[in-house]
Each structure stands twice: as structure tokens, then as C-alpha cells.
Amino acid sequence: MREQDSGWAAREAREGWWGPLVPRRVKRMAQETTARRVRAGLIPPPCALPCTDCFTEWEPGTPRHHYDHYLGYEDEHWADVEAVCPRCHNRRSRRRGEHR
């Protein structure tokens, strides 16, 4: 997965998939909430789930699945997440106009 190491892919891997429209603080809180729910056992880790869009199962050594906040980062939607592979997450965020 060398393409993950440079350019926008690496930036988004560090900062998440949402563009500058969402304040980083809000995005961070939403992601933290999801991470806490995973740790608490309320929802499985995203890599334990097949991609919602393409049904790809995560395998060790491949890019990790993410939880997509598919309804947005408003706090009432923080629990509304779907597990997606990086490829589909990218396609979703592109469709939402979150980058470029």
C-alpha cells in the first residue's frame, strides 16, 4: 500500500476523511466517541466487519476499515456509523464533496 504513504492519501489517513468544512475539533470528538464505543464493546471494531459498500472483508496487512459518519458529524449523528474499506470511504467522501 505504498500509495498510502504520500500526498492526500497520507494526509487523510492522519486527519480523517472529512474536509475543512468540519472543524477538526468536532471531527475529533466524533471519532473519539466511536473509538470509545468500540473499546466499550458497544460496536465491533470496523476491521471485524465487511465493507458496507463492497462487502470486502478486512485482512491483516491490508488498509484498515474505518467507520464512516455517513450522516455527518453533528453530535446527534455520532452513533450513526458504517464500516467501510478505505477505497469506499474515499469514494463516499468524494461524492460528498469533502475534498478537492
C-alpha to C-alpha distance for 28 and 56, rounded to whole angstroms: 26
Please tell me whether residue 85 binds Zn ion under the rule CB under 5 A.
yes
Does residue 81 interact with Zn ion by CB under 5 A? no
For residues 20 and 61, which CB has a smaller minimum distance to Zn ion in the complex? 61
Q: Nearest Cα to 13, choosing from 21, 22, 4?
A: 4
Is residue 63 within the footprint of Zn ion (CB under 5 A)? no
Among 50, 53, 63, 80, binds Zn ion (CB under 5 A): 53
Query: In sequence order, which residues have a C-beta less than 8 Å from that of residue 1 and are 6 or more positions away?
Result: 62, 63
Choosing from 22, 81, 83, 88, the residue that interacts with Zn ion (CB under 5 A) is: 88
Locate 62 and state its grid cell.
491490508
The cell for 47 is 476491521
CB 11, min distance to Zn ion, A: 20
For residue 92, the one-letter residue type is R
Residue numbers of the site for Zn ion (CB under 5 A)?
51, 53-54, 56, 85, 88
